[in-house]
Chains A and B, each alone.
Chain A
Amino acid sequence: GDSVTQMEGPVTLSEEAFLTINCTYTATGYPSLFWYVQYPGEGLQLLLKATKADDKGSNKGFEATYRKETTSFHLEKGSVQVSDSAVYFCALSDTDKLIFGTGTRLQVFP
């Protein structure tokens, strides 16, 4: 069945460092791909999405490109802030639901 694999965390960075969180997927057909963010004590929020191959989703300085040839959707940000500390989930669309990765915790220190 469809699945999503994310790099394990925590990812620990200093402020202004470059961020990459890896996400690869296995799917039949052409799913949409998503990144969600969960801040402490809150529900998940959509960060960005891409609906077809080569699409780039972007929001709040974060970017991810839908790579069909490598079945990947890696999340990147050029300069992280302390306020980016959160858990990040990669997901793909199945017919009736989203398939989520296990989440990657990001900790950014001043």
Chain B
Amino acid sequence: NAGVTQTPKFRVLKTGQSMTLLCAQDMNHEYMYWYRQDPGMGLRLIHYSVGEGTTAKGEVPDGYNVSRLKKQNFLLGLESAAPSQTSVYFCASSYRGPSGRTDTQYFGPGTRLTVL
């Protein structure tokens, strides 16, 4: 049981390049999330998904796109990278709790992205 995994762990891009970050979970969770964390800062939600085939915007969605074609995978795309997107990106997954609200989120180890 690997939990939440992220690929790649590190990446360096030049301004204007594109890339896709992959998140995979093996816990059969309905919900998946992408966050970014800048140095010394908290988490900011980029996009999230409440089920296969669905996506929704979070707090800072501009410059990113996502897709959830399979329940276990959630992809984050940067179409034209900018230095302002230099950050650590975390993926998380969770399930619906007894209250009907989302419950515990499980986080991946992060992807460290530098845009030059």
Residues of A within 8 A of B (CB): 29-32, 34, 42-46, 49, 51, 89, 93-98, 100-103
Given contacts A30-B99, A31-B101, A42-B109, contact A97 B33 (CB under 8 A): yes
Tell which of B12-20, B43-51, B62-70, B79-87 binds the partner.
B43-51
The answer to whether A45 and B107 touch (CB under 8 A), given A89-B43, A93-B101, A98-B102, is: yes
Give the bracket for the number of chain B residues in contact with chain A. Answer: 20 to 34
Whether B45 lies near A97 (C-beta < 8 A) is yes
The residues in B between 33 and 58 inclusive whose CB is less than 8 angstroms from any CB of A are 33, 41-43, 45, 48, 50, 56, 58
Q: Are B42 and A100 in contact (CB under 8 A)?
A: yes
1/0 per position for B96-109, CB-CB distance to A under 8 A? Answer: 01111111111111
Q: Is the CB of A93 within 8 A of B97?
A: yes
Interface pairs A-B: 3 shortest CB-CB: A43-B107, A102-B42, A93-B101
* Contacts A32-B97, A89-B42, A96-B50 given; does A49 touch B107 at CB 8 Å: no
Q: Which residues of B contact A (CB under 8 A)?
A: 4, 31, 33, 41-43, 45, 48, 50, 56, 58, 90, 92, 94, 97-110
Determine whether the beta carbon of A43 is less than 8 Å from that of B90: yes
Q: Which residues of B contact A46 (CB under 8 A)?
A: 104-106
Besides the known contacts A32-B103, A93-B97, 15 further A-B residue pairs in the complex with CB atoms under 8 A apart = A31-B101, A34-B104, A42-B109, A43-B4, A43-B108, A45-B107, A46-B106, A93-B99, A93-B101, A94-B101, A96-B48, A97-B33, A98-B94, A98-B102, A100-B42
Residue of A nearest to B37 (CB): A38
Smallest Cβ distance from B85 to chain A, in angstroms? 19
